[in-house]
């Protein structure tokens, strides 16, 4: 029996989402752009799916554009924002702990002459709202700040950033990567004060290959894809009805008590892990589902493999790093021994305290075996 504790990387597809996708593929297979009955039935379903996701996000259906994933949404938001502000300036603010889907397109823009300010976190993994306010300039065209960090679970001051932008009379647009926050912490785009916001389905038990982009009503952005005019002309291409059905079903299936259950299991895990010899807490995480620990002196990849051999699955950071050192943990200024032994643990609504105990027991066994071999 396996124990999966890497839900920040991806989640198993829930039965409701799988069923909805199957039905859309086998029964509701019409092209929504077709004029005949099964095509129009599919178009009506797409409208329903959009309304469901928008309702769970807390926005208007017309403010929601479907995408393929969080990376696409982040890239689009950045590109749209700099295009929107091209007559205003070439200054961008982000944080040093953003996902690579934000940092890499910003790196490309820097090579094109944009100036990018990277706000550093404190040792707890939090970025200062005051540092953001101090960094704003009249030529700032974009602030991109995630709501929940994908490796630390820390909440970042997005709403405070919106207020700072407004108070400074800055022309900047505000983008939020909310991939790890959606359905896990309470927010709406309006409450945050964002202009653009990105979510992804496979973090909430929908399949990979579907996401959504919030675009504030009234904000004029350039289309991502040109073609047949789908998605109100913003992202052309035949609608992936099966993925849309699954995303809507996953949203409906997400229990409103899920965050509390995840938080309870995480709290139990933190207590159990505190008894592991030599273990250090890197971040208990503000969000209910992510925390980060370290076993100094034990290489992360070795720990991941040893745990995998025991049927327990955790990660050494974002799956997008593919074994490379995490820029997020590096930004905390951790000692080298601590940095080399970092693990991220992330829970789902189905995670249990027994699984957390098994993880703690396995890490204890690994450390005791290493000590015995010395």
Q: What are phi and psi of 173, to 5 degrees?
A: -85, 155
Q: List beta partners, residue 196.
A: 175, 215
CB neighbour burial string for 39-54, b if at least 16 within 10 angstroms, e if fewer: eeebbebbeebbebbb
User: At 235, is the secondary structure helix, strand, or coil?
Assistant: strand
Q: Where in the sequence numbering do the catalytic residues fall?
A: 320
Contacting residues for 334 by C-beta, under 8 A, at least 6 apart: 282, 294, 342
Residue 84: how many other CB atoms lie within 10 Å = 20
288, 185 in Cβ contact below 8 A? yes
**CA separation for the pair 265, 257 (Å, rounded):** 13
């Amino acid at each position: 029996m396996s124990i999966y504790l890497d839900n920040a990387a991806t989640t198993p597809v829930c039965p409701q989402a799988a069923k909805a996708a199957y039905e859309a593929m086998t029964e509701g297979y019409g092209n929504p752009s077709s004029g005949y009955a099964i095509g129009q039935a599919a178009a009506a379903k797409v409208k329903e799916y959009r309304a469901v996701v928008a309702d769970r996000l807390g926005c208007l259906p017309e403010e929601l554009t479907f995408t393929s994933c969080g990376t696409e949404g982040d890239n689009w938001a950045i590109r749209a924002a700099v295009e929107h502000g091209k007559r205003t300036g070439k200054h961008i603010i982000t944080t040093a702990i953003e996902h690579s889907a934000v940092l890499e397109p910003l790196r490309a823009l820097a090579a094109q002459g944009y100036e990018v300010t990277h706000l550093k976190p404190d040792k707890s993994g939090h970025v200062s709202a005051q540092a953001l306010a101090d960094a704003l300039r009249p030529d700032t065209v974009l602030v991109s700040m995630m709501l929940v960090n994908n490796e630390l679970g820390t909440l970042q001051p997005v709403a405070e950033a919106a207020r700072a932008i407004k108070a400074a009379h800055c022309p900047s647009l505000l983008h939020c990567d909310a991939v790890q926050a959606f359905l896990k912490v309470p927010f709406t785009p309006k409450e945050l004060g964002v202009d653009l916001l990105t979510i992804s389905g496979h973090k909430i038990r929908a399949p990979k290959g579907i996401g959504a982009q919030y675009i504030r009503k009234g904000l004029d952005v350039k289309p991502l894809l040109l073609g047949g005019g789908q998605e109100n002309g913003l992202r052309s291409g035949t609608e992936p009805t099966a993925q849309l059905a699954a995303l809507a079903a996953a949203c409906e299936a997400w229990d409103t008590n899920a965050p509390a259950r995840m938080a309870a299991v995480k709290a139990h895990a933190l207590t159990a892990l505190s008894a592991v010899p030599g273990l250090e807490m890197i971040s208990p995480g503000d969000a209910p589902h992510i925390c980060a620990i370290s076993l100094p002196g034990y290489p992360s990849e070795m720990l991941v493999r040893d745990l995998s051999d025991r049927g327990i699955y955790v990660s050494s950071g974002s799956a997008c790093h593919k074994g490379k050192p995490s820029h997020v943990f590096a930004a905390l200024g951790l000692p080298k021994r601590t940095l080399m032994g970092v693990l991220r643990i992330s829970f789902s609504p189905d995670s249990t305290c027994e699984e957390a105990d098994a993880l703690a027991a396995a890490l204890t066994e690994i450390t005791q075996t290493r000590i015995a071999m010395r």
